[in-house]
Structure 1
Amino acid sequence: MSAIEIPTVTATTLPAGARLIDVREPDEWAAGHAPGAAHLPMMQIPDRAAEVPRDGDVVVVCRSGARSAQVVSYLLANGWGNVHNLDGGMRGWAAAGQPMVADDDRQAQVI
């Protein structure tokens, strides 16, 4: 059996109009996430996969790119053809100077 190739994008090569799905845990999400991203924790993906759009570009993100790569692999194996992994995750997003928001008045950060 051959491994599934994981399509990737970076924070600076994100397709215009792409929808971001953040698969980190609730405390990671609350500390800082991309504006407009949807929060769908990794362990909930099998039960909530119907919430992942099947049209347009979808980019999955975690802290560093490892968990999101697993989610992309799962989605590809289950019929999604429009999903990409955010290479470098939220760490790469922050390093590229992309905007972040937190769930409270704190300074957004990647934890």
Structure 2
Amino acid sequence: MSEVPTISVQDIPDDAVVLDVREDDEWQAGHAPGAVHIPMGDVPSRLGELPEEEPLPVICRSGGRSLRTVQWLVQQGFDVVNVEGGMRAWGGAEKKMVADSGGEPTVI
């Protein structure tokens, strides 16, 4: 298997557009302010909704789902990168997050 392109959270601007492939409850608890939410299982049917950002950072909670999503999207010809450590690393780096609930954003 070829090397999967990755990026660290420190190399992503706080206002960057990222593709968040976590489930609805995870998204609602806390996400990057510039994120677009498409759960991993919905990505194949929603390719037309992918942001034009190139390379597009793809993020999940810890990096596993986004890794698989990046592998698949690369095979489809997309310019994407996996965010190392996912939202756990994002939160650990104290990068800005927002919550749909209006409460304190968290990574679940």
| Alignment TM-score, normalising by the size of structure 1 | 0.90
Aligned to 2:50: 52
Aligned to 1:105: 102
Rounded Cα–Cα distance in structure 2 between residues aligned with 1:100 and 1:18: 12
Q: 1:100 to 1:16 in 2, by over 3 A?
A: closer
Q: Give secondary structure in 2 for the equivalent of 1:35.
A: coil
Q: 1:15 to 1:32 in 2, by over 3 A?
A: closer
Query: Post-superposition shift, 1:50?
Result: 2.1
Aligned to 1:21: 19
**Unpaired segments of 5 or more residues in structure 1?**
none
- Counterpart code for 1:40: I
Q: Give secondary structure in 2 for the equivalent of 1:12.
A: helix
Pairwise CA RMSD? 1.7
| Alignment TM-score, normalising by the size of structure 2 | 0.92
Deviations for 1:13-59, whole angstroms, at most 9, x for unmatched residues?
12697420000000000000000100000000110112224552200
**Unpaired segments of 5 or more residues in structure 2?**
none
Count of aligned positions? 108
- Counterpart code for 2:34: G
Q: 1:53 to 1:38 in 2, by over 3 A?
A: closer
Does 2:84 align with 1:90?
no
